[in-house]
Structure 1
Amino acid sequence: MENLLKRELNTVRLKQLGYAGGGCISQGQSYETDTGRVFVKVNHKNQAKTMFDGEMASLEAILKTSTMKVPKPIKVISLSDGGAMFVMEHLDIHGLNRHMATLGEQLANLHLHNEKLRDRESKDAHTNNDWQSDWVNFFIRQRLQLQLDLIEKEYGDREVRELWSKLQLKIPALFHDVEITPALLHGDLWGGNIGQVEDGPVIFDPSSFYGHSEYELSISGIFGGFSTAFYTAYYNKIPKASGFEKRLTLYQLFHYLNHWNHFGTGYRGSSISTMKALLK
């Protein structure tokens, strides 16, 4: 694998550094190369290249907004066993503490980026581009329904099936009079995917898509790791809209269902109770 890295990165020097890590899905290792330090994520599953291609596109999209610091992506490399490696800039990341408020402000700037682009385009006589979106149907069909289909296939859970038949009819009402400008989202912003470098906060391991900015805050409410200073700075730029708390619960339902599918029935209880809460 290291010989492949040398060829793909066109480097003679490839020395492992004392920076290694891994999550539930991939393993990582930092290296010194002829042109500087890189961080390499490795996954040996067949869908690894597709996953890493998506992460690379996510990092590139966030970088283009010039709103937040993320590791600069370099290259996705296929492995002979069907897996892949993802090479990116090495950052000396530490636990986030003194830059929480800055993170909140910068995240809001990321979420407002498309709105600012839209406003500029509407003032430009040479462009006639309008944002077209149907976020509610997207979230129901492409997020919740897909997770529920997987649960049905694996577990055939009757209670979940019955709750969903009632809940899906009530979801559109949660978005009454809510104006949504599609925002570029990190997509998986929990405490394990944030940190700081010397000059400010950094976010990593994105799973980006364009959606409702409120969605971004849902998983942080489940696993924590974000201070009051973060939320205060964020809401100063993007105030809570009417019905925010109920929609946040809806967005958290996706994460509970997703974790149920990934990690097992330990998340069934949270999924069931969240569905019941939304039906009250």
Structure 2
Amino acid sequence: MAERAALEALVGAAIARSLPLQGGDLSRVLRLDLEDGRRMVAKSGPRVATEARMLRAIARAGVPTPAVMAEGGGWLLLEHLDEAPASAPGWGALGLALLRLHRATGETYGWDEDHGFGPAKIPNAACADWPSFWAERRLLAWPEALPADIALRAETLAARLDGLIPRHPPAALLHGDLWAGNVLFTQQGAALIDPACYYGDAEVDLAMLDLFGSPDPVFRAAYGTPAPGWPERRAVYQLWPALVHLRLFGGGYRGLVERCLETLGA
């Protein structure tokens, strides 16, 4: 009852019913049906204020994302969007939306605050060049939390990133965790949800989208084709989310990490 009262105070209306929604492994998400006929999504967690700022940054870039309605007391209230099945037009809309997101650029690589996936910290302090950022803030973010042999191989790879990824790519606004589950297809197109934003190489988002499946070819036609050398850079960028999954969910993801490392000769 205390939770319901807190949510009603934040919403500013009585809740007729609340239903759990799938919120991934690291957060709790509810659909709120209000007595005045409105519908919202409530998400709880220790980093909802950070997520609210990221969603607003995505919206300022002109990219579809649920509007932030309110935030406080460990809850984030979001606009409810009606989901539709994935379709070729939806994937095309995602390609155009992501292209628009990446055209919003910053002055440095990183973000003005750190973030995290559960206990896996995401350090975001700025670095002068992109290989340094990817090495220090991603691949070497928490070597003590990885198996010793994997940590050593990641360290070896980090030492030679300067020859594998661009030194000064445009600092594009990234979603930061762009797998298909963080895309909400609607009748109007596609919206981005659950961001982990920072500024960096736009190919980071493309690599993540390829990690657990392949987008519809219409997506690539709308977004454009990566520059030559993409397969090697993709493996560099996929290694980070693979390491995150290894840390959070255990040895079942070791094979994914090793495949990335082997692709890169590490």
Aligned to 2:222, which of 218, 233, 238?
233
* Per-residue CA distance 1:81-117 (angstroms, 9 max, x = gap): xxx22211111122321321121122111101228x9
* Per-residue CA distance 1:122-143 (angstroms, 9 max, x = gap): xxxxxxxxxx942211111011
2:198 paired with 1:197: no
**For residue 239 of structure 2, what is the aligned residue in structure 1?**
253
2:85 paired with 1:99: no
**For residue 90 of structure 1, what is the aligned residue in structure 2?**
80
Deviation >6 Å, runs of 4+ = none
**One-letter identity of the residue aligned with 1:52:** V
SS in 1 for 2:101: helix
Whichever of the two has the greater Rg, that structure is 1
Residues 27-176 of structure 1: pairs in structure 2 closer than 5 A: 27-33=28-34, 34=36, 36-42=38-44, 48-49=45-46, 51-66=47-62, 68-78=63-73, 84-97=74-87, 98-114=89-105, 133-151=128-146, 155=147, 157=148, 159-175=149-165
**For residue 129 of structure 1, what is the aligned residue in structure 2?**
none
Aligned to 1:208, which of 175, 194, 197?
197
TM-score (norm: length of structure 1): 0.79
**CA spacing shift, 1:133–1:257, aligned 2, 3 Å:** same
**CA spacing shift, 1:2–1:225, aligned 2, 3 Å:** farther
* Per-residue CA distance 1:43-64 (angstroms, 9 max, x = gap): xxxxx33x21121111000001
Unmatched tracts of structure 1, length 5 or more: 43-47, 79-83, 118-131
TM-score (norm: length of structure 2): 0.83
Alpha-carbon distance, 1:171 to partner: 1.0
SS in 1 for 2:199: strand
**One-letter identity of the residue aligned with 1:269:** G
- Structure with more helix by fraction: 1
Alpha-carbon distance, 1:240 to partner: 1.7
**For residue 2 of structure 1, what is the aligned residue in structure 2?**
4
1:20 and 1:273 map into 2 onto residues whose CA distance is 33
User: What is the Cα-based RMSD across aligned positions, in Å?
Assistant: 2.3
**Percent of pairs identical after alignment?**
27
**One-letter identity of the residue aligned with 1:254:** W
Moved more, 84-93 or 160-169: 160-169
Verify the 8 A CA contact 1:133 1:182 in the aligned structure 2: no
Verify the 8 A CA contact 1:191 1:225 in the aligned structure 2: no
Alpha-carbon distance, 1:19 to partner: 6.9
Moved more, 253-262 or 268-277: 268-277
Alpha-carbon distance, 1:162 to partner: 3.5
**One-letter identity of the residue aligned with 1:175:** I
Unmatched tracts of structure 2, length 5 or more: 108-126
1:229 and 1:161 map into 2 onto residues whose CA distance is 37
